[in-house]
Amino acid sequence: AGSQIQGTASTPRRSRRRKSVAIAYDPGQGDGAEPRRPRWEPPAWQEQLQRIREMRRGRDAPVDEMGVHKCYDSSAPPQVRRYQVLLALMLSSQTKDQVTSAAMLRLRRRGLTVDSVLQMDDETLGQIIYPVGFWRNKVKYIKQTTAILKQKYGGDIPSTVEELVQLPGVGPKMAHLAMHIAWDSVAGIAVDTHVHRISNRLKWVKKETKNPEETRVALEDWLPRDLWKEINWLLVGFGQQTCLPVNPRCSQCLNQDICPAAKRL
């Protein structure tokens, strides 16, 4: 949203020299006013996006078959489903989808609720979620977060990004995905390592970004809001199958001729 200019309540004094106030006009509006410059956007991004959609048409990447949106019990009550989504997201950090999915299945067999996790001792929880990445830390974070959810939110999860990121072990990417999947609300773009890497390779950022959070801010500055929810699963699957971290399969990529990175990789 553009910035708004607020007027003062009192009547302005008449003076010989009038202060010039910059007013942003929409293109084609205003009496002789200079049109507002279009917001920056990457060249050829729409064509690149359409080709990625084509490559992702099969929806057969690990994220499609075993991503967080597939890990929760769809028959459980809404509050339990939302808790399971958040737990799957916490387990998924620096962990392959296959490993996260298997850990969630083992947890669900034990009856995965706020109360069941609180009643579980740390050793048992660790045995169930192993071998997810950093499983010892995740045991601690899961227990702390679950206790907060019980005490502060009545066993549900927060419904804002600001509250979600305050929970132990929950970062911005998880918070935005939790909003997408658990609450069906788009508050921002969920950026993981795949989205971060591909956005920089395609030059979808004005200048190179150093981390996923910088990439999120850069993408949200120009990418149309109606694409914010779609872009995560599109790029994650694309990154898992084609635009790999090491040795990307440029020869198989439909964007090979219009990707800035393809020529030097």
What tokens appear for 214 in the block? 């910088």
For the question of residue 173 being annotated catalytic, the response is yes
Q: Which of 173, 203, 210, 263 is catalytic?
A: 173
Q: How many residues does the chain have?
A: 265
**Long-range contacts: 171-180, Cβ < 8 Å, 24+?**
171/93, 172/212, 172/213, 172/216, 173/212, 173/216, 174/86, 174/89, 174/90, 174/92, 174/93, 176/216, 177/68, 177/89, 177/232, 178/82, 178/85, 178/86, 178/89, 180/229, 180/232
CB atoms within 10 A of CB 8: 6
State which amino acid sits at residue 242. Answer: T
**Which are the catalytic amino acids?**
173
